[in-house]
Structure 1
Amino acid sequence: MSMFLQQCPSLFTFPSSSPSFSAQISVKSTVFCCLSPSPVTVVNGNTERRSSERNEIRLGLPSKGRMATDTLDLLKDCQLSVRQVNPRQYVAEIPQLSNMEVWFQRPKDIVRKLLSGDLDLGIVGLDTVTEYGQGNDDLIIAHDALEYGDCRLSLAIPKYGIFENINSLKELAQMPQWTVQKPLRVATGFTYLGPKFLKENGLKHVTFSTADGALEAAPAMGIADAILDLVSSGTTLRENNLKEIEGGVVLESQAVLVASRKSLIQRKGVLDTTHEILERLEAHLRAVDQFTVTANMRGSSAEEVAERVLTQPSLSGLQGPTVSPVFCKRDGRVAADYYAIVICVPKKALYKSVQQLRAIGGSGVLISPLTYIFDEETPRWRELLSELGL
């Protein structure tokens, strides 16, 4: 500010007699000629144009922790590797997606910047979207199951004392201890979802607070009666003499792809890029733990072999087995005494499927993992278009 005053001294006067301020600034209308004509935003110390002024498509990704690592691994598996020249930089790119900028942000800031228009797409936990999006209609979940970051937002109470025989949310709400003068004290970082959930479930006398450090210690320290926090395995709760209760789960969460409705509809290229990301995600996730099984089987015709294969339910594959002749030359003539069967089998049913193939005459069984399974069109793309009214 002082440098600006030195450059434009004629624009400001400082009367010394004002009773309310030690220095009063009077700004003339000509001051606006010294300011930037376009609205700007400062992100991580960098000045940028608002979304209406930019052409790039922006994808927000978590900047730290397990969620960040798993997100980058997923994108790499989808042939969408993030290229970051300097690990200290907050901006990167995905070479396979033209005009795409990747911005590494805190998860809650990804949601906030989707709402402000500074990001177009983001990958965060559903709990973060729900807590910081607060039901805003501009946020659309484009893919709701990226299959990592699994956890649940759950209410937990002590196993001891007045809670020893309390095992459900209904029982907790009916405890006579909770009054206006002495409400149930809940420690949580979810200041939107927590009050909303407990109010909807009949707990009228509740106060909420945040605690420094691990929330699990709050009841033992006397800071809170219960906690509302993210739970994965539940081990930490058990080790701190806390228990989850029936009906106390606010939501089940995992990583999701979230988008700005305005960006999808109004900004050039965002919808097409979202389509490609969805296709790649769906194709990879469908192929996880799936294997291609190929076997040779003697038969009189492809139809006869197919009939034999389809007597075993686990050999039906995605839409049925592929049966094709295996040609060999015998006595100078080309013949097809064997047929090749190709099916897709989930990992958990792999050995059983091999056994069933052998039982009906299959031999020379080959197994290879699948990388992608592309549908005619991903269902989530159709759902997204429907949500947008397109």
Structure 2
Amino acid sequence: MTKIRIAIQKSGRLNEESLSILKRCGISIDNGKDQLKAAARNFPLEVFYLRNGDIPQYLRDGVVDIAIIGENVLIEKGEDISIATKLGFSKCKVSLAIPKSDAYSSVKDLEGKRIATSYPNTVRKYLEEKGVSAELHIINGSVEIAPNIGLADAICDIVSSGSTLFKNNLKEVEVMLKSEAVLAVSPNITAERKAILEKLLFRIQSVLKATRSKYVLLNAPNDQLDVILKILPGMRSPTVLPLAEKGWSSVHTVIDKDTFWEVIDELKQAGAEGILVCPIEKMVL
């Protein structure tokens, strides 16, 4: 039986979150200790555990069909590889940073400076767009130490919380790009495996939609029902059911989590009571 081959990071946070989203898609993977390859029990899928930086080439060569990878890695090493969907986790920035004690007014201050990075293509392109020429030192590993040992005047690296920069007495001065995990697709994927990808994408998008939404039930006085229904951004239209108490109705709908509190405040002001909020496991549209 044909299986789609997916690459995920061998270890670390992206590994854990990648396995988590596959699990929420109902895919059970037989993971053994230190395995480099594993099969799913209930879906035509094989998992390859690879180094993050190697994944773009494996996609390009058709060794794997799809991959969960940081968008920043694709920008650096795989701009020719297409993205099927963004996944909403492992968010970070790729930023330029300099010692805290150094003055900084604009990217022009980096003219002629030495920049340590493991993202040379990204930095080079960014500086060219800004009309800045700098000397790049390519380092595979921790670049934060470079200014402290006199190797560089600035660094370019991934920034999540900023704590690593703080510990190394550095400050972020330019955000070059924002990144998150994406599902990337090999340019050599076969039609048969593309059909499996479509099934996987359907599951992933159902999980992501559920993650971004909340299921809301509330009690509404009938004389305010029209006002309350206008506030609610339901999928098509909210469900309205009569309550045992005369003059009241129960309203069921889905609210996007990004606008959730604003909508709840409006509902309360419009007379809604007994508002119950529930998480959604899957959302099939």
- Asked if these proteins are the same fold (TM beyond 0.5), I'd say yes
Letter in 2 for 1:374: V
Match of 2:183 in 1: 257
Change (3 A) 1:224 1:59: same
Question: SS at 2:63's partner residue?
Answer: coil
**Larger RCO, structure (CA 8 Å, separation 6 or more):** 2
Deviations 1:144-195 (CA, angstroms, capped at 9, x unpaired): 2x121111111112233xxx3323213433xxxx3xxxxx211111232222
Given candidates 143, 149, 167, the residue that maps to 2:85 is 143
1:210-229 to 2 correspondence within 5 Å? 210-211=138-139, 214-229=142-157
Match of 2:71 in 1: 126
1:70-89 to 2 correspondence within 5 Å? 70-84=17-31, 86-89=32-35
Deviations 1:213-253 (CA, angstroms, capped at 9, x unpaired): 531111121111111111112222133222222xx322211
Given candidates 95, 99, 104, the residue that maps to 1:166 is 104
Q: Distance in 1 between matches of 2:220 and 2:41?
A: 45
- Whether 1:195 aligns to 2:119 is no
TM-score (norm 1): 0.65
Match of 2:253 in 1: 343
Letter in 2 for 1:318: M
The offset of 1:345, in angstroms, is 2.7
The offset of 1:289, in angstroms, is 5.3
Answer yes or no: is the 8 Å Cα contact 2:118–2:141 preserved in 1: no
Given candidates 265, 278, 282, the residue that maps to 1:368 is 278
Letter in 1 for 2:185: A
Answer yes or no: is the 8 Å Cα contact 2:71–2:181 preserved in 1: yes
Match of 1:32 in 2: none
Answer yes or no: is the 8 Å Cα contact 1:289–1:369 preserved in 2: no
Answer yes or no: is the 8 Å Cα contact 1:187–1:224 preserved in 2: yes
Q: Distance in 1 between matches of 2:283 and 2:3?
A: 30
Structure 2 gaps, min length 5: none
The offset of 1:57, in angstroms, is 2.0
Match of 1:290 in 2: 213
Q: Distance in 2 between matches of 1:213 and 1:121?
A: 26
Computing the radius of gyration from Cα coordinates, the structure with the larger value is 1
Change (3 A) 1:326 1:268: same
Answer yes or no: is the 8 Å Cα contact 2:60–2:187 preserved in 1: no
Q: Distance in 1 between matches of 2:235 and 2:192?
A: 33
Q: Distance in 2 between matches of 1:316 and 1:150?
A: 27
Answer yes or no: is the 8 Å Cα contact 1:114–1:259 preserved in 2: yes
Q: Distance in 1 between matches of 2:240 and 2:168?
A: 58
Match of 1:39 in 2: none
Match of 1:41 in 2: none
The root-mean-square deviation of aligned C-alpha atoms, in Å, is 2.7
Q: Distance in 1 between matches of 2:132 and 2:260?
A: 49
Match of 2:53 in 1: 108
- Whether 1:318 aligns to 2:211 is no
Deviations 1:276-302 (CA, angstroms, capped at 9, x unpaired): 222222211122253222234453xxx
Letter in 2 for 1:123: I
The number of residues matched between the two structures is 285
Change (3 A) 1:319 1:226: same
Answer yes or no: is the 8 Å Cα contact 2:61–2:188 preserved in 1: no
Deviations 1:105-161 (CA, angstroms, capped at 9, x unpaired): 11122211111111100001011112121x32xx110112x121111111112233x
Answer yes or no: is the 8 Å Cα contact 2:36–2:49 preserved in 1: yes
Question: SS at 2:283's partner residue?
Answer: coil
Match of 1:181 in 2: none
Deviations 1:65-103 (CA, angstroms, capped at 9, x unpaired): 11101111122122223222x2222111223322x2111
Match of 1:208 in 2: 136
Q: Distance in 2 between matches of 1:65 and 1:253?
A: 17
The offset of 1:209, in angstroms, is 1.8
Change (3 A) 1:188 1:361: closer
Structure 1 gaps, min length 5: 1-53, 179-183, 329-335, 376-390
Q: Distance in 1 between matches of 2:66 and 2:48?
A: 10
Question: SS at 1:130's partner residue?
Answer: helix
Letter in 1 for 2:76: E
Answer yes or no: is the 8 Å Cα contact 1:186–1:209 preserved in 2: yes
The offset of 1:342, in angstroms, is 0.8
Match of 1:272 in 2: 195
